[in-house]
Amino acid sequence: MAYKAVTIKAGKGGFGGPLTLVPTDTRNKVVSITGGGIHPIAAKIAEMTGCPAVDGFSTGVPDNEIMVAIVDCGGTARCGVYPKKRIFTVNVLPVGQTGPLARFITEDIYVSAVDESCISYADASAAAPKPSAGTPTNPATAPKTKAQAKEEIAKMNEGKEKNLATRIGIAIGGIVNKFYAAGRETIDITVKTILPFMAFVSMILGIISASGAGDVIANTISPIASTLPGMLIVSFICAIPFISPVLGPGAVIAQVVGTLLGVQIGLGNIPPQYALPALFAIDAQVGCDFIPVGMSLGEAEPETIELGVPAILYSRVITGPIAVLIAYVFSIGLYS
Catalytic residues: 73
Alpha helices in the chain (DSSP H): 40-49, 78-84, 146-156, 164-189, 195-211, 213-225, 228-239, 244-247, 252-267, 275-282, 291-297, 302-330
CA dist 105 and 137 (Å) reads 24
Q: Which residues contact 217 (CB under 8 A, 6 or more apart)?
A: 208, 260, 263, 264
- What angle is formed at CA 181 by the lines to CA 196 and CA 111, rounded to 5 degrees? 50
227: Cα within 13 Å, side-chain hemisphere: 7
3-state secondary structure string across 127-159: CCCCCCCCCCCCHHHCCCCHHHHHHHHHHHCCC
In whole angstroms, what is the distance from residue 310 CA to residue 162 CA?
A: 55
